[in-house]
Amino acid sequence: MPRLGQLTVSRQGYGAMGLSHSYGRADDAQSVKTLHRAIELGVTFFDTATGYGKGHNEQLLGQALAGKRDQVVIASKFVHRPNGADGPVVSPREAVEASLARLNVERIDLYYLHRIDKQIGIEESVGELGRLVAEGKIGAVGVSEASADELRRGHAVHPLTALQSEYSLWTRDVEVEILPTARELGIGFVAYSPLGRGFLAGAEVTEADDYRNQHPRFEPEAIAANARRREVIERVAERLGVTKAQVALAWVLSRDVVPIPGTRHIAHLESNWAANDIVLDTATLEELETAYVRGSTVGTRYPADRLAQVPPEPVA
């Protein structure tokens, strides 16, 4: 079983964001059934955040995991300015107390700084989270979308258990410096959007309120260009008798990281989980990586305003 610091987690976690945020409406009753099925399959690592549905996601996860707390590792995240750059600053302590109440737990196993606030040094943020570890309110500290330098600075203040960053065949920026730094420091790596926000699995955006409509990679010209390279995943999937999603997940799993795919559908959940048993040989890995050379995806991974909140694309 993979380890994130002192935490033992399942090979895949479950990213709960889509149950409350970004991909249009979801049915809470069905979401709870999906979360319960995840536990039945063997998922022990569940990821949420204060900003997903303005707290709804934490409440939903707390409801679904009631009575099952000893079976799971819960991770959540916060930002200092949830209402934007001009909004009030929320301290780690305020955020943790609110998350504990919504999740209805006494301790959160892993708590991330969701985005690094450029006006608040990472040392200050991580230091206060470290004090909350000492108080027993959280079990471990993580950061999301940190640069290699930020990782080093934060880790020097309090040991970081995990770094969460976007990582998939079409988003490989972390391989240059960030992932090697995390490994050097003994920081576990959690990969969000391992299916390229569903694109690598063949998903289409159909709802007007789906936030992918705002993403450059989902503009018509980008979709057409990126779909041509997806044909490589399709060929591999057909050759192996598996799905496109399973190929994309198997590649991420081959990198010795913990992916946290999310889905609302039990059938997709079961299919994703089955990727744990797929081992891609060296030739297949090379075939996929040649098609998805770092930096070759058409379109930036976020709109301009959100792109400024994540590490810049490496030049090397």
Structure confidence by residue, pLDDT tens digits, 102-117 = 999 999 999 999 999 9
The model's confidence at residue 316, banded by pLDDT at 50, 70 and 90, is low
Domain assignments of the chain as residue spans, ordered by start = 7-303
- CATH code of the domain made up of 7-303: 3.20.20.100
Letter for the amino acid at 142? G
Average pLDDT rounded to a whole number, residues 296-309: 90
H/E element, 305? helix 304-307
In tens, the pLDDT along 215-230 reads: 889 899 999 999 999 9
Report which of residues 310 and 84 the model is more confident about: 310
Confidence of residue 314 (pLDDT cuts 50, 70, 90): confident
Full DSSP string of 139-174: S-EEEES--HHHHHHHHHHS-EEEEEEE-BTTB-GG
Rounded CA-CA distance 16/47 in Å is 6
pLDDT surpassing 80 at residue 210 = no
Angle, CA 58 vertex, CA 48 and CA 102 arms, to 5°: 145
Strand 7-8 and strand 3-4: pairing? antiparallel
Residue 247's nearest CA partner among 180, 163, 170 is 170
- Give the active site residues: 52
Query: How open is the CA angle 145-2-316, to the nearest 5 degrees?
Result: 40
Beta bridge partners of 210: 23
What is the model's pLDDT at position 208? 66
Looking at the chain, the whole-number percentage of residues with pLDDT higher than 70 is: 97
